[in-house]
Structure 1
């Protein structure tokens, strides 16, 4: 005799009468709602005129976005659908269903306000005792732009394409002016073909102008660097009375290179090396992560494919955080961040750097792991002092925290949550979206670290 539960899809009342009863008491959606209810959203709510039909409250829309990014739902269409399909999203939306256009517009409109709320969430993390600033790990990760690399146009190819299109326009105009139209293929509309080519020529002209502007900026930067190198050589010659060895640095080339590119979909993104080989259209997302709690305390998004010039900007962002969050004592970073200037910048900021000076072997010999610390150098430069610290047992133990600080955060955001591509376009917009991603991660992490916490 069968013993199954009854399948009854016709009962008129399936859910509790209150949306508050739909979720367990300890649930991430509740935590996010409670945190957002405690934030000051006056700038957001004050931006609405108050006329016309009633608007969705910013608290609800922000809750949908943050919970979506914390659980791997990034698309505004999927967020709208989730307000029907998911109990947690229904709870946040209070059984309402804002459409995807409303959600997408809210996200674009209030990116700057969301960036400011990032710091407010860190204040809360400090208040509930889960954030300690002492040691920070800095790292970057490539995240795909909302653009295909096949939409990139090189300066050389743009010139060839421009010549081809101009020749086609001249041919179409000749056909239009000819008295005998018998040579016009069936189905061809000369005005439509002309309009299409003229639009493409306009876009190509804009792309070439963008590449030329970037080339001028690059030439000015490289020219200043070249002049500084030449001045340093002359100073060494004057100090030693000997001509420096090696060839003098070559002056930079003026004008665009044939391989210089611009992406027609998102011109502010860049071609960057992708993990596993090859290249893709990306941005370089930076994050400073607190050791122990794995909370992100500062973020940035840059167009440079490497991390060499990101230490000083991130130190400025960390230095601008409220004093009540605590003081950063150590900065951990891999060899991609190493330079004498970056080490000096850390020392100037009152932060002790632990930046790898070269690639670390995966399986160092036992004798090397347990060798005694070398004797400290006398009157060392900042780089020499750091190099000595990294060879001491305490320095090695400190640097070992680097791999278990920012890298797990990136791994969870990209693999577990699935955030591998920005939804928005343009450098400022993706910076705002990266703040939203990391703020959502911080709230998810805070919920894990302090599950018993409830807002007053």
Structure 2
């Protein structure tokens, strides 16, 4: 008796064409994403195309949005990987109706609708609210470091950026043959052996590079003059305080006016160079303002008040200090706990007890210090847009968020804040941290009710980061620049909430 196997005839033809819907189970997540997109207002996407239909036909925006949401849910964020899946995966074929968008089309759609894709977060949050998943009695806030689309090795000092610009402006053959000639090749040409010659050569190279990059006039340097009334509570009144406050204001302005990072390497080099020069100019402005402020205090001082010696005039360094990444000038070196430093962004999230993300923002500062109030404000704004009338009652965050003024501001808005003053590694309190709000917060956290409430923080917000970074592979941004990173982080947060919504639709008891 022959062996008994089920026949496997790959040449077997079908009498009728297959129906893709028969090949995908009813409880598959693709159906939930298709259903969610049908309920979204995608007018912003459709409004970007000609109403008269002229020109080459484009893929339906609803199909492309569904394709990106499903791809991110599967941890597939590469445009080439998405194109490959459209050829090979039946669920992708179901989304695209058997069509195969080219990877360049997918990448261009993501670039063109960058802001609108990030705003899908608000649309998904509204769907979660309608399903009753957004319970905001207790909210936890935390941050995680996500790598930028840039290498740590691309960080450059001002001098190295100048060298890169010179190298970019001169072709290798012309440099070796025209400048070095018969020499060994490692000595400087005659016109680069003096400081004046180097400056002239750099200025000429910079102009050639600007023309190559298509840049017009030099971008303006921000004018910033710190107001001491705005940082009167800051410890110290010296020049460093003015520098620090001016730099904060510069970062705030860059955040508000965040622009896409140029794709061309020459333009990126010039952008990185400009930012280092702008940093130095803002420091000079802050020093001048500080010296004027000191002079005014002395001129109108109260009799008997001592001011000490007048400040010495500020002498800026010969070249701007610090480093800037020439691939993604918005990104920064980020310290991570127990891991090597990464070139990236600090992704902030506010999460409910049900692990629904209610705010997703991006910061360029590595510490979480200073991000408590902005993240809470973002959460309140998102909840209002989603139609959630309930306001958070309690806010949980780790010791990195301890900021006395911000905690007071949030508490004055009727929200209880639980943030440890320190990480608990010290045997005693820091000097001056043993009374007032510090002592009160320690007492609250040491109480039975406070302890029970605060222990929910880890099991709400940290699993959200774990799911997205390790299960969905979201460890690195695909696009460059702060605006693009924020849009992508919000899109990933929307996908996370969609997965929660899918679980709820399957079985509300396990959502």
1:19 Cα deviation after fit: 2.3
Q: 1:351 to 1:218 in 2, by over 3 A?
A: farther
Q: Which of 488, 500, 506 matches 1:433?
A: 488
Could you tell me which runs of 5 or more consecutive residues in structure 2 were left unpaired when the two chains were aligned.
186-200, 210-265, 428-433
Partner of 2:396: 332
Partner of 2:279: 214
TM-score by length of 2: 0.71
1:219 Cα deviation after fit: 6.5
Partner of 1:44: 45
Cα-to-partner distance string for 1:396-444 (whole Å, 9 max, x where unaligned)? 1111011111111101111111111000101001100111111011101
1:117 Cα deviation after fit: 2.5
Q: 1:205 to 1:53 in 2, by over 3 A?
A: closer
Partner of 1:99: 102
1:159 Cα deviation after fit: 5.5
Q: 1:255 to 1:177 in 2, by over 3 A?
A: closer
Distance 1:297 1:250 in 2: 49
Q: 1:164 to 1:434 in 2, by over 3 A?
A: closer
Cα-to-partner distance string for 1:95-140 (whole Å, 9 max, x where unaligned)? 2111111111111122222233212211211111222111111111
Cα-to-partner distance string for 1:61-91 (whole Å, 9 max, x where unaligned)? 0111011111100011111111111121111
Q: Which of 113, 121, 124 matches 1:121?
A: 124
Partner of 1:271: 333
Secondary structure in structure 1 of the residue aligned to 2:119 = helix
Distance 1:2 1:299 in 2: 59
| 1:318 maps to 2:379 | yes
Distance 1:391 1:400 in 2: 11
Secondary structure in structure 2 of the residue aligned to 1:25 = coil
Query: 5 Å matches for 1:225-304?
Result: 254=316, 260-291=322-353, 293-304=354-365
Distance 1:21 1:29 in 2: 13
1:2 Cα deviation after fit: 2.5
Partner of 1:414: 469
Secondary structure in structure 2 of the residue aligned to 1:447 = helix
Partner of 2:149: 146
1:16 Cα deviation after fit: 6.6
Q: Which of 136, 140, 145 matches 1:137?
A: 140
Distance 1:253 1:315 in 2: 40
Which stretch of structure 1 is more off in the superposition, 392-401 or 88-97?
Answer: 88-97
Partner of 2:191: none
Distance 1:210 1:161 in 2: 16
Distance 1:436 1:350 in 2: 30
Secondary structure in structure 2 of the residue aligned to 1:300 = strand
1:339 Cα deviation after fit: 1.7
Distance 2:474 2:15 in 1: 34
Partner of 1:112: 115
1:383 Cα deviation after fit: 4.8
Partner of 2:413: 349
Distance 1:216 1:15 in 2: 72
**Partners of 1:216 and 1:255 within 8 A in 2:** no
Distance 1:317 1:409 in 2: 18
Distance 2:8 2:141 in 1: 54
1:161 Cα deviation after fit: 6.5
**Partners of 2:396 and 2:417 within 8 A in 1:** yes
TM-score by length of 1: 0.79
Q: Which of 398, 402, 409 matches 2:453?
A: 398
Could you tell me which runs of 5 or more consecutive residues in structure 1 were left unpaired when the two chains were aligned.
186-193, 365-376
**Partners of 2:157 and 2:322 within 8 A in 1:** yes
1:274 Cα deviation after fit: 3.8
Q: 1:105 to 1:173 in 2, by over 3 A?
A: closer
Query: 5 Å matches for 1:136-175?
Result: 136-158=139-161
Distance 1:348 1:253 in 2: 43
Secondary structure in structure 1 of the residue aligned to 2:329 = coil
Distance 1:123 1:285 in 2: 22
What is the aligned-residue RMSD (CA, Å)?
A: 4.1
Which stretch of structure 1 is more off in the superposition, 32-41 or 352-361?
Answer: 352-361
**Partners of 1:212 and 1:256 within 8 A in 2:** no
Which stretch of structure 1 is more off in the superposition, 259-268 or 391-400?
Answer: 259-268
Q: 1:52 to 1:308 in 2, by over 3 A?
A: same
**Partners of 1:142 and 1:283 within 8 A in 2:** yes
Secondary structure in structure 2 of the residue aligned to 1:2 = coil
Distance 1:330 1:227 in 2: 44
Secondary structure in structure 2 of the residue aligned to 1:321 = helix
Secondary structure in structure 2 of the residue aligned to 1:298 = strand
